[in-house]
Structure 1
Amino acid sequence: MLAIRFDRFGGPEVLTPVDVPAPVAGPGETLITVEAAGVNLADTFQTDGSYLSASQLPHIPGGEVVGRTEDGRRVLAKVTHGYAEQVLCAESALIPIPDDIPAPQALALLTQGLTAWHLLRSAARLQPGESVVVHSAAGGVGSLAVQLAKEFGAGRVLAQASSPDKERLALALGADGIAEHPLSPGADIILDAAGGALFDQALESLADFGRIVTYGNASRTPHTPLDPARLSRLNAAVVGFWLRPALARPGALHGPLKQLLDLTLQGRLRPVTGIEYALTDAQQAHTDLRERRTTGKIVLRPQRNGPTDPGPGAGRLLARPVGNG
């Protein structure tokens, strides 16, 4: 079967299409024929060695797929080697999904959607009427966090994005305005995945007893060391968040994911998707993601005949908000 593998650490150029034996299901496992595989920033960190050790090479990346089981069920699943035509998953971890949710939307809900849900509910503990600032508001997590903040009763939601087009997308998704630091008045909650200078600016934009939730460092620059005296002066809290241990808590996966799926089916939540990449174009997908040329959820389609989008610009993501309403 076709898969994408890297045998050494590096940039997108190390991702190579290879033919490998199809996996064989063992006890308690299910074979899935992949309809689409999600691409996440964490995949680029695996590729450059940030997440893996040399002893784990060669490696097929990819942590999430939509596909069908051998008995015909359409499922969403967290996996370990998703950039392939077929993957294995524990039967107990399969999440049935309806046929009327497109694969890219379903994939957006698994990692990005659950991250956005837990950022607001578990980490920030959003209360009705509180103000929320979402950094990277046109990205996979940010675009969903803007919508969920409104759904969960936020009083005012402001968006920060890296270009005018991305700002317009965030406004179309329900943001009340564009955030420019320092804010006046300050925000109750700021969700930050960028790190670096933007984090430092945001910290000064918190209202009394505000919370900034840090869940990534897309800028790849170090934070300024946090001085407890500074937090005391600001009456501020810094909360860290990582999805993987959060999902180990009872009730952290299936209940929130069901809510996200229901909101999507009702048209109240619109996962942002765009042009898809063929599995063999994984290098280009990683390049575009790393260079912040993407918007919303990007996916790989394991079809040997090239990109699934026949129009101009195939291989690049031109994102658009989509929904069922």
Structure 2
Amino acid sequence: MKAILVTELGGPETMKYAEVEMPSMSPTQVLIRVEMTSVNYADIKSRYGKKGAAKLPFIPGLDATGVIEQVGEEVQSLKVGQRVIAFPANGSYAEYIVADESLTFVLPDQISTETAAACPVVSFTSYQLLAKVARIAKGETVLIHAAAGGIGTTAIQLAKLLGAGRVIGTVGNGAKAEIALSAGADHVICNDREDFVERVRALTDGAGADVILDSISGTVSERSLECLAWYGRLVHFGNASGEIGQIKTIDLHASCRSVLGFSFGTTRKLRPHLLQDTAKQVLDYLANGQLDIKIGKHFALEEAANAHAWVESRASTGKVLLDVRS
């Protein structure tokens, strides 16, 4: 089969379109003929050697959509011919993948191939953050950092669907503000000209946000506590800044604030059963048209290097997809 291989750590040019062996399948896995896969920023970080510890050469990619071609003898809930999304065992930039039954989810007919390819990481992560980790309650104020990104725009929509009374987003500059506003944010703070702590306090009459989603870390995490409401939950799920943040425990106990951590990768690996309800809820929202995943450029599988370069240029808006269909 054809696949993309990262042959050495470095830039997009390290990815090669090559012939590789078909993946082997365990009794609890399914073989999927891939139709489309997506480019996640984690793929780029892994290509540079900054995420994971895959041995070279490796196939990048976290998620894919396609059709089941074969099922393992112990698989009970899936069958040949079903359209699915899946989180594969060993990369998704390939014509075929294998995935555990617990990480393969049947698609409703109403969901297009493009939406299916774009949705898994951003929608599953956003739902887990809000519904399961932060335990959002009706009427609460939610602050979402990096609100113009894939998870940001998805989390804005899901926060509203889950009952948030107000959603505030932060973005790097004014050019990104419209993206967050179009996703449904009530207010957007531009970090290049506003102090987010002061602005959140002003918007909430000094109370602060009940839920804060932080993928940036460092000083952003530290300062987020300054605008977190009593009984509020700061959910830390990324380290985009590369900085190490310091949190004073004295800031937590008297105010009943919580700082929570979440990794979608860890959850897939150690507690995949936690994703079953998430998949049902997210796929229902998508099938009913309540949730929209913004889709950007399409590239052919053999153009994966160009797709990575496009994402790294920061010029992309919407989810970048790789079309594996011949």
Class of the TM-score when normalised by the shorter of the 2 chains: 0.7 to 0.9
Name the SS for the 1:223 alignment partner: coil
What is aligned with 1:267? 289
Equivalence map 1:26-41=2 (5 Å): 27-41=27-41
**Where does the alignment leave 5 or more consecutive residues of structure 2 unmatched?**
70-79
Q: CA deviation at 1:98?
A: 3.2
What is aligned with 1:157? 167
Equivalence map 1:181-200=2 (5 Å): 181-182=196-197, 183-184=200-201, 185=206, 186-200=208-222
Candidates 136, 154, 159, aligned match of 2:146: 136
- Structure 1 counterpart of 2:95, one-letter code: E
Q: CA deviation at 1:231?
A: 4.1
Once residues 7 and 298 of structure 1 are traced to their aligned partners in structure 2, the CA distance between those partners, rounded to angstroms, is 22
Name the SS for the 2:179 alignment partner: helix
Please say if 1:101 is aligned against 2:111: yes
Candidates 212, 235, 259, aligned match of 1:238: 259
What is aligned with 1:320? none
Moved more, 188-197 or 151-160: 188-197
Q: CA deviation at 1:60?
A: 0.8
Once residues 39 and 282 of structure 1 are traced to their aligned partners in structure 2, the CA distance between those partners, rounded to angstroms, is 9
- Structure 2 counterpart of 1:62, one-letter code: G
Q: CA deviation at 1:290?
A: 3.6
- Structure 1 counterpart of 2:10, one-letter code: G
Give yes or no for contact 1:157–1:176 (8 Å, CA) kept in 2.
yes
Say if 1:214 and 1:291 are closer, same or farther in 2 by CA, change over 3 A.
Answer: farther
Please say if 1:229 is aligned against 2:250: yes
Name the SS for the 2:51 alignment partner: coil
What is aligned with 1:280? 302
Say if 1:224 and 1:74 are closer, same or farther in 2 by CA, change over 3 A.
Answer: closer
Q: TM-score w.r.t. structure 2 length?
A: 0.84
Q: CA deviation at 1:25?
A: 4.2
Give yes or no for contact 2:230–2:255 (8 Å, CA) kept in 1.
yes
**CA offset digits 1:152-186 (Å, max 9, x no partner):** 11111011123434321221221111135112132
What is aligned with 1:321? none
Q: CA deviation at 1:30?
A: 2.9
Once residues 123 and 27 of structure 1 are traced to their aligned partners in structure 2, the CA distance between those partners, rounded to angstroms, is 32
- Structure 2 counterpart of 1:237, one-letter code: S
Equivalence map 1:53-64=2 (5 Å): 53=53, 56-64=55-63
Give yes or no for contact 2:142–2:211 (8 Å, CA) kept in 1.
yes
Equivalence map 1:118-133=2 (5 Å): 118-133=128-143
Q: CA deviation at 1:24?
A: 4.9
Over aligned residues, Cα RMSD in angstroms?
2.4
Give yes or no for contact 2:37–2:118 (8 Å, CA) kept in 1.
no
Name the SS for the 1:82 alignment partner: coil
Say if 1:296 and 1:237 are closer, same or farther in 2 by CA, change over 3 A.
Answer: farther
Name the SS for the 1:246 alignment partner: helix
Q: TM-score w.r.t. structure 1 length?
A: 0.84
Give yes or no for contact 1:199–1:223 (8 Å, CA) kept in 2.
no
Q: CA deviation at 1:235?
A: 5.6
Q: CA deviation at 1:302?
A: 2.1
Say if 1:33 and 1:202 are closer, same or farther in 2 by CA, change over 3 A.
Answer: same
Q: CA deviation at 1:197?
A: 3.4
Once residues 250 and 23 of structure 1 are traced to their aligned partners in structure 2, the CA distance between those partners, rounded to angstroms, is 21
Say if 1:159 and 1:4 are closer, same or farther in 2 by CA, change over 3 A.
Answer: same
Name the SS for the 1:253 alignment partner: helix
Moved more, 5-14 or 74-83: 5-14
Give yes or no for contact 1:108–1:140 (8 Å, CA) kept in 2.
no
Say if 1:28 and 1:153 are closer, same or farther in 2 by CA, change over 3 A.
Answer: closer
Please say if 1:168 is aligned against 2:178: yes
What is aligned with 1:22? 22
